[in-house]
Structure 1
Amino acid sequence: MTTPQARDRTKFPDPVYASTILRPLFDGAKQHHARILQKIDRAHLVMLVETGIVPAEQGSRIAAALNAISREINPETLSYDSEVEDFFFLMEKELKTRVGADLGGRLHTARSRNDIDHTLFKLGLKERIDALLAKNRALLAALIDVAEHEKATLIVAYTHGQPAQPSTYGHYLGAVIEVLIRDIERMEAARAIVDRSSMGAAAITTSGFPIDRHRVAHLLGFSAPLQNSYSCIAAVDYVTSVYGALELMFLHLGRPVQDLQFWSSFEVAQLYLPNAFVQISSIMPQKRNPVPLEHLRHLASQTVGRARAMLDVMHNTPFTDMNDSEGETQDMGYEAFSVAERVLDLLAGVVRAAEIDQRRVAVNLRRSCVTITELADTLVRREGLSFRQAHEIAAVVARIVVAMDGDLSDDGYTPFLAAFEEATGRTPAIDAESFGTVVSAENFVAVRERFGGPGEKALEAALAGYRHDEAALAARMEDRMRREADAEQELNRKIAELAGGA
């Protein structure tokens, strides 16, 4: 009986494998990674020549051919034809055609598709992270600008969906700003994990050739090589770190979007979205639909879902080189970044355009008695009551005023006198004029000057801190961009010298 191996007369690739796997992988590679592969080829070649692994004369001919391929071949025009396994082998075939099989094959000395692929993916992720961080900073700048402008603009703050206390729009945005800064810092930390080159790990264990992994990492713009070679091809925590940070960022951004949607409802209406961001109903003439807020909400959720899907793909995979983390998975992750950028652009535009309708805020403040907490606090400070007793008096006042659909400042003093005298057996020192001041929204905010509060000085200090953080984020990004641009220039110069102008 013959073995299956002896009977096998098939030729790679099977048409169905080519159509379902190899062609999509090829198309993804040419779309996302062709330029990056060229960069890796150049950096690896420079290192091979500098270490003496490839003689300079041979390196010069390879460099000239790489330059010619870059000039003469547009990856977008290429299509998979089953003659080679993937895009990498097509480019290697093209190089061999130009300089001969022996010389062309020397470029692959001391490397593997394993370390090439993970380096490709890291460079692709760094580009997308940097584009995202730039848009994050634009949103952050918009939030800080509006928070500074609206630092004294009163709003009703809600808890459990109900009016709770007065605050300012600037103070609310400050909370959003702080979360965004932490999310940006999480993404920066994830980028630092990505910023370790896998080149030189080869298949798993590096190489017996005297390669210089630090040199290749430097020429490619990485901060350093990832140390353990097995980790270079197995530890895909650079993927999970990035998409974990991305998931959290857009989970967090979706929450204030939901608030803005609620605030813009007809019943609340403390947020006004201008006509440029409002769509009308096709049948109901009165409708002003703040549809961009809905798009923000669902696109943020799409980003969360796509990022979480990347984590799910990595779940329970083996700790080794594997296709689960490669080509098509990376392409799927890039879609999360594409949607995320739309959210950041639109949210920055909405934040700058939206306004607080102070007339409606005043109505909601009057109807909801949300300043009543300060009445209780004042009774503790001025009348010497315990907070619990003061709270009970204030609660009675609030119930009566709300029941009469009254205004706490205008209608609250009489029920306050009655409740105070019943609870304490004496007349309060607070007169009607003082009562009106105590329960005003302006006073409520003004006395909250504690660290982190909405009072003028406390909020101004916070805003100054946010500006400092914004500048620090910008400085770190500029440092990264400068370092990587310098590396790019050095790589181009070295290749030009090696190719001799060819």
Structure 2
Amino acid sequence: MTDRSTFPDPVYRDTVLAPLFEGVKTHYAGHMGEIDRAHLVMLVETGILSAEVGAKIAGALSEIEAETDPDALTYTGEFEDYFFYVESRLKAKLGADTGGALHTARSRNDIDHTLFKMALRTRADGMETLLLDLADALIGKARAEAATPIVAYTHGQPAQASTFGHYLSAVIEVLLGDITRLAQARASINLCPMGAAAITTSGFPIDRGRVSHLLGFAEPKRNAYGCIASVDYITGYYSALKLPFLHLGRVIQDMAFWSAFEVGQLYVPNALVQVSSIMPQKRNPVPVEHMRHLASVTVGRCETMLTTMHNTPFTDMNDSEGEVQSAGYGAFETGARVAALMAAFLPACSIRADRVAANADAACVTITELADTLVRAEGLSFRQAHHVASVTAKAVIAKGEPLGAGYDAFSAAFEAEAGRATTLDAAAFADAVSVETFIARRDRFGGPAEGALSEALDAYTADAADLRLTLEGDKARRDKAGAELAAAFLNLTEPR
């Protein structure tokens, strides 16, 4: 049987090769140029290529870069991909022998995963910066609202008094944990695959550490097979990336609940509400819905990356390359919108003291402190105190009275349970059930009182600063490496 077909099949060209070529143009062309330069510097420094050959290739690479506008290229199928397009240009300028020498001791396998890591780390930098900016904004808001009472809910019901600052500090703590996980996952991105070649490194005396350094990586990834097969930098980072948006989605849901008319403790300013086209009374906090759906889309896009890796072979494979990598970048786009919008939204909102007071009174959210007070001041067991507090709460709720006005119901419940009159007078009772007392007495590690909350926010501020310092250190290393690569490459074209 004679096969007279020629590559590429038009359908394969249009459905696979052309979209991949477009992806390289958009995301990787610049990184490919960096890899070419770093690899060439290493080949000359190790003596694998002569200085004369290195100078010729360096000059040709510079010419090709100056002559090529990737955005203007259209995939024709003449060359399989962008890599072969550049190599063909080198061969056209230098001849097949010299032009093909740049590919000594490397493969598209190690090139591709290095490209993907370089593109991913840039996006990781941007995302972690945005999330740290959000953390800083929330810390500032938490400090400003440290003494602002709120009603805290459990199981969808009013539970206890707290402060907006205390609530936000819980959000901050989770967010900083998520950023820490992202930083840990970024460590895998910072390991360079170059030098792994197809699977097993090379028979040439390459210097993998030199290429890694010139490309701004922390160090080479050790196992060459793992460089092209493990793709744990994808699964690890996207696993970590989905968590902040999963967690922020829960906070966003609270914002929807708190701003609902029936609860109303969160006031969303006019700049962040939309009106109805037919109902003139409506104030719709629509940004909440946009944050919620964008957070969910981000989680879904991260999960897509993990699902795509599921049950794939432990080897080099297209399932982790090209279009798959590009698909994951959508998570950074939607995630960035969530982080930016939340950093503007929450600091702009305020707590409605009137609604907090009304809901606190209606639901007796400070009644736990009455029970605690009876244990301390009256010597009751907590179970006895809990019963007295429960009877008191039920009585005032039935009458529609605020808890602070329930002294008569309390004293009767106390005498029925303890067999004696309470030593608390009406003023002491009112103090025990006030929101201010409830918060002030919870001055324990992690609590909402001024001292405990201030200590927590100072700790979060320090943690955020450390995370930012680590991130900036990564960026500085890459900036320094970029300058060193530029100088080393220039030295090839202008040898001393």
Structures share fold, TM-score greater than 0.5: yes
Q: Please, which of 461, 467, 492 is the counterpart of residue 498 of structure 1?
A: 492
Q: What TM-score, normalized to structure 2?
A: 0.99
1:484 correspondence with 2:478: yes
Which of these residues, 1, 16, 19, is aligned with residue 21 of structure 1? Answer: 16
Deviations 1:310-347 (A, max 9, x none): 00000000000000000010000011111111111001
1:336 is paired with a residue whose SS is helix
Q: How far does residue 76 in structure 1 lie from its aligned partner after superposition?
A: 0.5
Partners in 1 of 2:322 and 2:394 — Cα distance? 63
1:376-395 alignment runs, 5 A limit: 376-395=371-390
The residue number in structure 2 matching 1:292 is: 287
Task: Tell me which residue corresponds to 1:55.
Answer: 50
Residue 443 (str. 1) matches residue 428 (str. 2): no
Residue number among 328, 344, 362 corresponding to 1:367 in the alignment? 362
User: CA separation in 1, counterparts of 2:339 and 2:239?
Assistant: 18
- 1:452 alignment partner, one of 439, 443, 446: 446
Query: Is 2:456 the partner of 1:462?
Result: yes
In structure 2, the residue matched to 1:404 is 399
**In structure 1, distance between residues paired with 2:138 and 2:494:** 51
Q: Residue 203 in 1 paired to residue 202 in 2?
A: no
Q: SS where residue 162 of structure 2 aligns?
A: strand
CA–CA distance in 2 between the matches of 1:344 and 1:413? 47
* 2:244 corresponding residue in structure 1: 249
Q: Does 1:165 align with 2:172?
A: no
Partners of 1:111 and 1:81 in 2: CA distance = 26
Task: Provide the residue aligned with 1:343 in structure 2.
Answer: 338
* Counterpart-to-counterpart distance in 2, 1:356 and 1:254: 20
Query: Which residue of 2 is the match for residue 3 of structure 1?
Result: none
Superimposed CA distance per residue, residues 277-322 of structure 1 (whole angstroms, 9 cap, x where no aligned partner): 1011111000000000000000000000000010000000000000
Which residue identity does 1:272 align to in structure 2? Y
Q: Deviations over 1:232-273 (max 9, x none)?
A: 000011000010001112101111111011101111111111
Q: Does 1:275 align with 2:256?
A: no
Find the residue that maps to 2:346 and give its secondary structure: helix
Letter paired with 2:355: R
How many correspondences in the alignment? Answer: 495
Where do 4+ consecutive residues of structure 1 move more than 6 Å? none
Matched to 1:233, the amino acid is: I
Report deviation, 1:99. 2.0
Alpha-carbon distance between aligned partners in 1 of 2:97 and 2:396, rounded to the nearest angstrom: 92
The answer for the alignment partner of 2:86 in structure 1 is: 91
SS across alignment from 2:79: coil
Distance 1:230 1:89 in 2: 24
* Secondary structure of 2:278's aligned partner: coil
The residue type paired with residue 464 of structure 2 is E
1:223 Cα offset (Å): 0.3
What letter is aligned with 1:372?
A: I
Q: Equivalent of 1:232, from 227, 233, 236?
A: 227
SS at match of 1:430: coil
| Unaligned ranges ≥5, structure 2 | none
Question: 3-state DSSP class of the match of 2:337?
Answer: helix
Q: Offset of 1:450 from its aligned partner?
A: 0.7
Rounded Cα–Cα distance in structure 2 between residues aligned with 1:53 and 1:169: 64
Aligned equivalents of 2:154, 2:92: Cα separation in 1: 70
Task: Tell me how far 1:80 sits from its aligned partner.
Answer: 0.5
Q: Please give the alpha-carbon distance, in whole angstroms, between the structure 2 residues aligned to 1:104 and 1:403.
A: 89
**1: distance between equivalents of 2:121 and 2:293?**
26
Distance in 1 (CA, whole Å) between partners of 2:347 and 2:444 is 28
Q: 1:317: which partner in 2? A: 312
Q: 2:104 matched to which residue of 1?
A: 109
Match 1:217 to one of 199, 212, 216: 212
Aligned to 1:68: 63
Secondary structure in 2 aligned to 1:414? helix
Once residues 443 and 66 of structure 2 are traced to their aligned partners in structure 1, the CA distance between those partners, rounded to angstroms, is: 64
1:82 aligns with 2:77: yes
Paired residue for 2:26?
A: 31
Partner Cα separation in structure 2 for residue 285 and residue 65 of structure 1: 68
Question: C-alpha displacement at 1:500, in angstroms?
Answer: 2.2
Alignment of structure 1 residues 164-203 onto 2, 5 Å: 164-203=159-198
Aligned-pair CA distance for 1:219: 0.3
| AA at the equivalent of 2:357 | A
State the distance in 1 between where 2:61 and 2:273 align. 53
d(CA) in 2 for partners of 1:477, 1:337: 17
Partner residue of 2:465?
471
Q: In structure 2, what is the Cα distance between the partners aligned to 1:99 and 1:489? A: 27
Residue 58 (structure 1) shift: 1.0
Query: Could you tell me which amino acid in structure 2 is paired with residue 116 of structure 1?
Result: I
Give the aligned residue type for 1:471.
A
What is the aligned-residue RMSD (CA, Å)? 0.9
**Secondary structure of the equivalent of 2:153?**
strand
Q: Which amino acid aligns with 1:43?
A: A
2:34 alignment partner AA:
K
CA distance in 1: counterparts of 2:380 and 2:20, whole angstroms: 74
Instruction: Flag structure 1 segments of 5+ consecutive residues without an equivalent.
Output: 1-5
Give the alignment of 1:151-162 within 5 angstroms.
Answer: 151-162=146-157
**Secondary structure, counterpart of 1:7 in structure 2:** coil
Distance 2:332 2:309 in 1: 18
- What is the aligned partner in structure 2 of residue 135 from structure 1? 130
